[in-house]
Amino acid sequence: MSEYKNRWSILRYLVIGAFLSPLDYFIVNMALPAIKASFQATENQLQMVIAIYGLTYAALVVCSGKLGDIYGRRRVFTTGLWIFLVSSLACAFSPTIGWLVFSRFLQGVGASLLAPQVLASIRILFDESERAKALGVFGSVFGLAAIVGQLLGGVLLNLHVWGLTWEVIFLVNVPVAIICLYGIYTNMPKEQVNRQKLDYGGVVLIISALLCFITPLIYGRTYQWAWWIFVIIGLSAVFVFAFVRYEKGRELDKQSVLLSMSLFRDKGFAYNLPIILCYNFTAGLFICYPYYLQTYLHWEVMTAGIAIVPYGIGFFLGPVLFAKVNNTARFWIKLGLGLLLVSFTGLGVLFSQLIIPNFGMHSLFLLAGLGHGVLMPVMMKESIRTVKLEQVGQASGIISTIIQVGSVLGGAIIGTIFFSLSSIIEVPMAFGIAISVIGLVQLVSIGFYSQINKLKIENNE
């Protein structure tokens, strides 16, 4: 039994705070037409409103876990919430599109401090017998955010509360953040931390690597994948190589490091990362599907948003099922990967034939979301299971980064396939092929999982 008697109350408020980050992603997408009309914004400016948030989050989240180790997870989490709260107000009252983009950058900074603290806290607060349930609760907020973001966004935009339109979607963050801050301050005790110096050199190198990798993926299609896009991506590999050499040198000199390379020698941790990367290719669906429904089928924004809800329902139910039903990690991973593989390849075939989504397609979307929802908590649980407590913050930062990189990489690859094929073949066929790739990528995950099973057999686990 865990020594933390109020651990479930702490988790409740940690999860509420973590809920804000994915909610903001889904709900802001719904508001883009209203933002465009309000500021007479260009397509590039609208893309920046979305991209700057994800880019900042992905570049900084790897450092967030280590900050929690150094300064304490309570302090870092509440700092992130305050930044998110203030920047949400700044977004809502932005006088210009430039101010809105800058405020979205600050939102990304705040959001990057949240998720790694939750994952690390679950590893510390809960023992093995309760960790699956805790991770199930944490995982379910992402599916809930997908549902609430689509529905609440549409409702708020149409209500015109106090004569406001897109501003309301940012103001809704404020009361949630205030409730969460109150709960954390009153329930979560301050930690005794072993203060270390932050590895600033490592911070600069890893952020440079992530920016050089992620930025071209976000803007590659805009610039038609020009040669210099690939040069910048190649530069990210140089920064990664420099980062690894630099961190190894600091470890040999017994200095503090941002990421300990010993983490990657833990094969149970390292082999799980490609699986996490691959199942987050599902982000490509949220780029292609709304575009397909609104541009090709001419559906209204609200109707298109509702069409994504079955996936969100499955994504919500998956972690709940994982928390409620006691079974082995092997069972859940096989189930999750199998559902993603079968559902997305099946959807690819159906869309190329039937064009308009029907009940069967919505059912497959639900099953795909269920597969995603099942995989998320079980892969987090398995990834941090053998990690030392003093390294759990670093591990959480790495996992959060891999989730973001997988989402951006999946969005870039699936989006490029869809938009490139759309100019050559029929749009439904192009969409079908693109989402089939999401399913087929899971074969890579299956390959890595077979290696994990071999390791477990060798270690008699």
Q: What are 309-321's pLDDT values in tens digits?
A: 899 899 989 998 9
CB 74 within 8 A of CB 189: yes
Share of the chain above pLDDT 70, in %: 97
Question: Treating both helix axes as pointing N-terminal to C-terminal, what angle do 115-125 and 392-422 enclose, rounded to 10 degrees?
Answer: 140
pLDDT at 314: 92
Q: Which residues lie below 8 Å from residue 258, measured CB to CB, with a gap of 6+? A: 62, 63, 66, 198, 199, 202, 203, 206, 247, 394
For residue 331, give the 3-state DSSP assignment: helix
With a cut of 90, say whether residue 151 has pLDDT above it: no
Q: What is the DSSP string of 245-306?
A: HHHHHHHHTT---SS-THHHH-HHHHTHHHHHHHHGGGHHHHHHHHHIIIIIS---HHHHHH
- Span 237-289, pLDDT tens digits: 999 999 999 999 998 888 888 888 888 888 778 888 999 999 999 988 988 88
Least confident of 70-74, 194-198, 395-399, 448-452: 194-198
Q: With cut-offs at 50, 70 and 90, classify the pLDDT of residue 235.
A: very high
Q: With cut-offs at 50, 70 and 90, classify the pLDDT of residue 79.
A: very high
CB 211 within 8 A of CB 55: yes
pLDDT at 456: 62
437 φ, ψ (degrees, to nearest 5): -60, -35
Q: For the chain, what is the mean pLDDT?
A: 87
CB 246 within 8 A of CB 256: no
Q: Enter the pTM of the model.
A: 0.86
Mean pLDDT on 434-450: 91
User: In terms of Cα–Cα distance, which of 95, 91, 112, 85 is closest to 103?
Assistant: 91
With a cut of 60, say whether residue 457 has pLDDT above it: no
Our CA angle for 60, 419, 376, nearest 5°, is 40
With a cut of 80, say whether residue 162 has pLDDT above it: no
- Angstrom distance (rounded) from CA 213 to CA 229: 9
- Angstrom distance (rounded) from CA 246 to CA 376: 32
User: What is the Rg, in whole angstroms, of the alpha carbon atoms belonging to the chain?
Assistant: 21
Q: Which residues lie below 8 Å from residue 255, measured CB to CB, with a gap of 6+? A: 199
DSSP state of 172: T
DSSP state of 166: T
198 φ, ψ (degrees, to nearest 5): -70, 135
With a cut of 90, say whether residue 159 has pLDDT above it: no
Strands (E), 122-281: none
With a cut of 80, say whether residue 161 has pLDDT above it: no
Buried residues in 47-63 as b, exposed as e (16+ CB within 10 A): bbbbbbbbbbbbbbbbb
pLDDT at 2: 54
CB 202 within 8 A of CB 247: yes
Q: Distance of CA 314 to CAs 148, 257, 368, 375, 413, Å?
A: 13, 39, 7, 12, 24
- Angstrom distance (rounded) from CA 355 to CA 357: 7
**Quick one: tokens of 309?**
């809800």
- Span 111-122, pLDDT tens digits: 999 988 988 888
Q: Which residues lie below 8 Å from residue 410, measured CB to CB, with a gap of 6+? A: 280, 281, 282, 283, 284, 438, 441
- Angstrom distance (rounded) from CA 182 to CA 177: 9
CB 140 within 8 A of CB 404: no
Question: Treating both helix axes as pointing N-terminal to C-terminal, what angle do 43-71 and 7-39 enclose, rounded to 10 degrees?
Answer: 160
Q: With cut-offs at 50, 70 and 90, classify the pLDDT of residue 1.
A: very low
Return the C-alpha torsion angle 249, 252, 255, 258, nearest 10.
60
